[in-house]
Chains A and B, each alone.
Chain A
């Protein structure tokens, strides 16, 4: 049996809702670490970064679902909603720690969103995630039909904005944000590459006289 089959077989036995439990437990555990002095002497920024980093990883995980199926036959489609909603949950946690524990004033929060481009970009990603989170249920999928896919195409610009948000806030040239950005670009490119190839071959297959 191939590795892909094995993963598919095992994953079928895991109920998707366990991802929600894991996300809540993970966020709670990190908050406890911050509270108990185990995130270093400055837990506010540490917690903010932990939540943001997990959100970005989950966004990327969500983007991996389709290519994993296309290229490796690994089918994790039944977890995608839970991954996406958990990403949204961590983005909200990231924003809340930033606004309530770090910036500590609504006036300053607004100023930061308006005046600091890297915050603006992050905020834009959060706002765009809201309609996606609200429509991540079976009723919305039925009701919206084709438009549901169109709406959820927003995950691509959201991932890019999240990547830029990270690249933009660092000092110097550490590797991590650029690696994340590269992964996001590759995952988006995978969406467009095969399609273009297919349509190109179709076009070349057409007899010139047909025009």
Chain B
């Protein structure tokens, strides 16, 4: 793991993080509306008190964990990651949190547990997007076990050393920097270790447009727009587009997908 962490730090050297204001004001969180400013406007209503995460499936220690019980005793990390949305925009976020692998090792993954499935909280009374049914809820995401165990993958609880704002997925969210942003599920209330590839929201809505892997890949277009370049958030009205990097620049994950058709990995 140490070598990989070294690479992470190396990759982070040239990254200039976006301002906290940018990170908190430009979000996709459809439970609070489909506009980019809707989450910042509406997410204040999210109730994050007495938060528990239900851990289940093929694990040794299932149960309802408080935030502190789940991650309080694990090594806290600060990771500056590129964040690339499937909509072809990107920002740089300094996350605080723990490696998902540490959480999974703590709860004990049983053999045959090939995938991890996550779910976002549903609070219809506090979430206008849920009442409007813009997409099916609860929002679901998943990772293959080797992806979940990769040292780059983290469960974040903060940004810039401050607790996550609700619109950023408070109090705890997934961060998988080499995948399109929709994989990095927010406000997690359920973690399940399962044998088969779980349901994932966007793929279930439209499998032609969104895959399970959803690795950042400039060579495979979204059917409705190109993924070759990205708009950089925070650069103003005349900011230049940037070339998108395979795996969002995190080449160390390439070995996870050896032998698979790269065109199937969008």
Note whether A and B form a binding pair.
yes
Q: Taking the complex as formed, is B37 at the interface, i.e. its CB lies under 8 A from any CB of chain A?
A: yes
Contact B224 A168 (CB under 8 A): yes
**What are 9 inter-chain pairs, A to B, with CB distance below 8 A?**
A44-B231, A44-B239, A101-B238, A104-B240, A108-B226, A111-B226, A172-B30, A173-B134, A175-B132
Interchain nearest-CB distance for B89 vs A (Å): 6
| Candidate in B34, B132, B221, B234 with the most chain A CB atoms within 10 angstroms | B34
CB pair B233–A42 under 8 Å, yes or no, is: yes
CB pair A43–B226 under 8 Å, yes or no, is no
Contact B34 A172 (CB under 8 A): yes
A98 to chain B, nearest CB (A): 11
B252 contacts the other chain (CB 8 A): no
B25 touches A40 (CB 8 A): yes
Complex Cα gap A35–B237 (Å):
6
Query: Size of chain B's interface in residues, with CB distance under 8 A?
Result: 31
Cross-chain contact B237 with A47 (CB below 8 angstroms): yes
Nearest-neighbour CB distance to chain B for A171, whole angstroms, equals: 7
List 6 other contacts, CB 8 Å, given A40-B36, A41-B234, A108-B226: A43-B237, A44-B237, A46-B36, A116-B225, A173-B135, A174-B134
Interface residues of B in 180-238 (CB under 8 A from A): 205, 221, 224-226, 229, 231, 233-234, 236-238
Residue of B nearest to A111 (CB): B226
Q: Are A171 and B22 in contact (CB under 8 A)?
A: no
Q: Pick the contact of B25 from A41, A44, A115, A116 — CB < 8 Å?
A: A41
A111 to B226, CA, bound (A): 9
Complex CA distance for A10 and B92, rounded to whole angstroms: 54
Check if A42 sits within 8 Å of B89, measured CB to CB.
yes
Cα(A42)–Cα(B89), bound, Å: 9
B111 to chain A, nearest CB (A): 37
Q: Which of A76-122 contact B (CB under 8 A)?
A: 101-104, 108, 111-112, 115-118
CA distance A115 to B222 in the complex (A): 11
How distant is the Cα of A18 from the Cα of B89 in the complex, in angstroms?
38
A24 to B66, CA, bound (A): 56
Question: What's the least CB distance linking B43 to chain A, in Å?
Answer: 15
Residue of A at shortest CB range from B205?
Answer: A172
Question: Do B34 and A174 have beta carbons less than 8 Å apart?
Answer: yes
Known: A40-B37, A41-B25. A169 touches B224 (CB 8 A): yes
Q: Given that A102-B231, A172-B135 are contacting pairs, would A43 and B37 also be in contact in the complex, using a CB cutoff of 8 Å?
A: no
Q: How far is the CB of A95 from chain B (nearest CB, A)?
A: 16
A103 to B87, CA, bound (A): 13
- Determine the distance from Cα of A188 to Cα of B57 in the docked complex, in whole angstroms: 55
- Docked Cα-Cα span, A108 to B218, in Å, equals 14
A172 to B260, CA, bound (A): 29
Q: Which residues of B contact A171 (CB under 8 A)?
A: 34, 87, 135
Q: For B236, list chain A residues within 8 Å (CB).
A: 35, 37, 43
